[in-house]
Amino acid sequence: MKAGNVLFGLLLIGLGVYAGVKFKDLPMLKLNDTKEEISISDDTLQNGAHSHRRPVDSIIYLTNSEQATIDLFQKSAPSVCYITTLNQQRDYWSRNITEIPSGTGSGFVWDKQGHIVTNFHVLQGGEKYKVTLSDRTTWDATVVGVEPNKDLAVLKIDVKADQLHPIPLGRSSVLKVGQSVYAIGNPFGLDQSLSTGVISALGREITSVGGRAIRDVIQTDAAINPGNSGGPLLDSYGRLIGVNTMIYSTSGASAGIGFSIPVDEVNWVVSDLIKFGKIKRAVLGVTLLPQQYAQNWNIEGVMILSVSPESGAAKAGLKALEQTRNGEIIYGDIITGINEKTVKNYDDLYLALEKYNAGDKVKVEYVRDKEKRSTDVVLSNQ
């Protein structure tokens, strides 16, 4: 019995020694490992089976398309400015005059001389104007010229050339439906906002503030909201292809249909406004019968009401409306075309002639005594 107890004791001692040796060979548990295990355990206790959060990847991955858009915005945004329209108000009692902001819009730098292009309707009704550049500096602006019939205007600020970043010009005559476009402006007063989209349609016609038609307008689904007016529409190279002018919407906010004046139109209008302060139009040297009378008389074209002496029209032999002593009306020549381009109304003639300069010769098609005729007319300045 005693021998059995001795053997049992020796067995226990041997097992203890063996266990001690094995425990010594195990790797030491690090303090931070212990904390990690504790944190996992605590998280598990608090959130059930929820595992610990994975580390966040701080590297930003961009597609080529995204990077191109970012580069375009960073390159073009310094050219876009914020325009504030001010009106003056006199206090009834003190008679002091204060300037009250009456509207805002967008514009962009045209050249290094400080010319800023925007919409005419952005300035309409204002008495003073301020331009805020992308560097947050604000400058008083003077009006160089306006053209309501094209909804375009030019301001000028007195600023150093190195603060100005003109937008390069593209061409609107080569645009395609489906082409990517980018609008930068100040919608709802939020400056330096970018919206993207495509050209939805070309050759649209809208009516300007001045009541004249603007043709070959660009339609886009890039979001254009109040405050975007006067801002640039750019192609994927950052070139100006249009000036954002209006939206089609029942709510007053963007509904996916915006319109931009094509850059080919903008280029010659702005150049004239800077050089002359107004548009220098080439004219035939005639006045026309008001459109309502032409409609009442079922005239297809525009009838000449009078011809200016020594004008190109007078030298070409065009005849005006006459009234005899007996009160009989003799129709004047009815212009139906300019250089093979059909003229049905005043807008047609107005737009056909704006492509030419004074001194250019155009072929005028007209009807006299129900007979179709044509003659060459040398255009003169308005």
CA 260, 264, 269, 271 torsion-angle sign? positive
186/105 Cα distance (integer angstroms): 7
151 is catalytic: yes
C-alpha gyration radius of the chain:
37
**Bridge partners (DSSP) listed for residue 67:** none
Residue 368, token pair as written in the block: 């006299």
Which among 172, 229, 311, 380 is annotated as catalytic? Answer: 229
121 is catalytic: yes
**Contact between residue 99 and residue 128 where contact means Cβ atoms under 8 Å apart:** yes
Which among 76, 79, 115, 121 is annotated as catalytic? Answer: 121
Residue 336: how many other CB atoms lie within 10 Å:
21
CA 148, 144, 268, 257 torsion-angle sign? negative
253/233 Cα distance (integer angstroms): 18
**Bridge partners (DSSP) listed for residue 131:** 83, 139
**Contact between residue 377 and residue 318 where contact means Cβ atoms under 8 Å apart:** yes
DSSP string, 135-190: TS-EEEEEEEEEEGGGTEEEEEE---GGG--PPPB--STT--TT-EEEEEE-GGG-
Which among 106, 151, 195, 254 is annotated as catalytic? Answer: 151
Look at strands 115-118 and 329-330 and give their pairing. unpaired
229 is catalytic: yes
Class of residue 381 by CB neighbours under 10 A (exposed 0-12, middle 13-18, buried 19+): exposed
Residues designated catalytic: 121, 151, 229
